[in-house]
Amino acid sequence: MKLKFTKMHGAGNDFVVIDAINQQIDFTADQWKALADRRFGVGADQLLVVEKSQNPSCDFRYRIFNNDGGEVEQCGNGARAFVKFVAEKGLTSQRRIAVETMSGIIAPRLEDDGSVTVDMGAPIFEAERVPFDTEGLQSQRQGNDTLWPLQLELAGERETVLLSVLSMGNPHAVQVVADVDTAPVELTGPLIEHHAHFPKRVNAGFMQVLDRGHIRLRVFERGAGETLACGTGACAAAVAGIRRGLLDSPVRVDARGGELSIAWAGEGEPVYLTGPAVTVFEGEITV
Ligand SMILES: N[C@H](CCC[C@H](N)C(=O)O)C(=O)O
């Protein structure tokens, strides 16, 4: 079949966006993986599939597939690309829409300057809901945050990292580092992603605090590797920094691919993610 798609990115986190309302699509994980492959397919960190929602209080449903073909619960940069896509395709005339995702309803809003703000819902801290197995771990406190020491085996050496663990609908483990440019993201990112204490794996964030309103962030993403930006990762890092008493809302997040802004009023409140959403090209591929 010929599949129409739109290539987009949010601060360098890139997507293949597919209208599954006007195209009949029923792919296997291997087919999604092939589409996301940067050599044999179109190439993307994630694939975003736009559907009509069966939920009467939602305008759309959007499904997210990682580069490895696995379907996941949430994607912050993707939510911004999604709302720009449905506006550009004339699938909606609204600028604020309710979107059903695997982890609940989010509400992206297209701003006048072309940026998008997304209500990403409230962060989740209960370990079993992340999910995170705390068995045998001795937690520490920092401010209002609980930090978990995780042991990593690195070339025969044991290294302990201190993680904030939370869910933005998808699982995140965030650590503070002195300098994101020298942090061993390529080495320890995969060890954290696949650690036995994360039964559904995890997105591993590395946060450098510049001041109380500004961080630099790198994220080794579950199922995609390091990306140039991670929206849910930026939410998780800002929330962790605020709970640790290191940051105040709003937080400017400098990712390698661009700048995101996070606002959070505290426990039980939603996290707001603001950032760019860019259409790069339209395409068609025979699959
Ligand atoms: N890049 C996405 C994260 C995708 C999440 C995916 N890596 C996972 O949770 O497995 C974002 O902007 O939030």
User: Of 17, 79, 230, 240, which residue is the catalytic one?
Assistant: 230
Residues flagged as binding site for substrate:
13, 46, 66, 76-77, 170, 203, 221-222, 231-232
User: Same domain, yes or no, for 103 and 143?
Assistant: no
Q: How many residues are recorded in the chain?
A: 287
Closest by alpha carbon to 205, among 241, 157, 248?
241
Distance 179 CA to ligand 1 centre (A): 23
Query: CB neighbours (10 Å) of residue 202?
Result: 26
Judge whether 32 and 62 are in contact, CB under 8 Å.
no
Name residues whose C-beta falls within 8 Å of residue 190's C-beta, 6 or more positions apart in sequence.
Answer: 220
Q: 147 lies in which domain range?
A: 127-269
232 C-alpha to ligand 1 centroid (Å): 6
Say yes or no: 7 and 111 in one domain. yes
Q: What is the pLDDT of residue 230?
A: 98
Report the C-alpha gap between 283 and 23 in whole angstroms: 14
pLDDT, one tens digit for every residue, the chain (287 residues): 899 999 999 999 999 999 999 999 999 999 999 999 999 999 999 999 999 999 999 999 999 999 999 999 999 999 999 999 999 999 999 888 999 999 999 989 999 888 899 999 999 999 999 999 999 999 999 999 999 999 999 888 999 999 999 999 999 999 999 999 999 999 999 999 999 999 999 999 999 999 999 999 999 999 999 999 999 999 999 999 999 999 999 999 999 999 999 999 999 999 999 999 999 999 999 98
Q: Provide the domain count of the chain.
A: 2
Q: Within this chain, do residues 138 and 211 fall inside the same structural domain, yes or no?
A: yes
Q: Do 133 and 211 share a domain, yes or no?
A: yes
Same domain, 165 and 40: no
Tell me, in angstroms, the distance from the centre of ligand 1 to residue 135's CA. Answer: 26
Same domain assignment for residues 196 and 77: no
Cβ 187 vs Cβ 119: under 8 Å: no
Residue 7 CA from chain centroid, whole number: 18
Amino acid 273: pLDDT = 98
d(CA 17, CA 24): 14
Q: 242 with 281, same domain?
A: no
Q: At what angle do helices 76-88 and 231-243 cross, to 10 degrees?
A: 140
Do 114 and 200 share a domain, yes or no?
A: no
Q: Which CATH number goes with the domain that contains 145?
A: 3.10.310.10
Whole-Å CA distances, 49 to 3, 6, 251, 275: 12, 11, 30, 20
Probe residue for ligand 1, chosen from 32, 71, 72, 274 as the CB with the greatest number of ligand atoms within 8 Å? 72
Question: What is the pLDDT, as a whole number, of residue 1?
Answer: 87
Whether residues 228 and 246 share a domain: the answer is yes
User: In this predicted structure, what is the pLDDT of residue 208?
Assistant: 99
Looking at the structure, do residues 140 and 61 belong to the same domain, yes or no?
Answer: no
Task: Kindly state whether residues 23 and 84 are assigned to the same domain.
Answer: yes
Instruction: For residues 58 and 141, state if they share a domain.
Output: no
pLDDT for res 215: 99
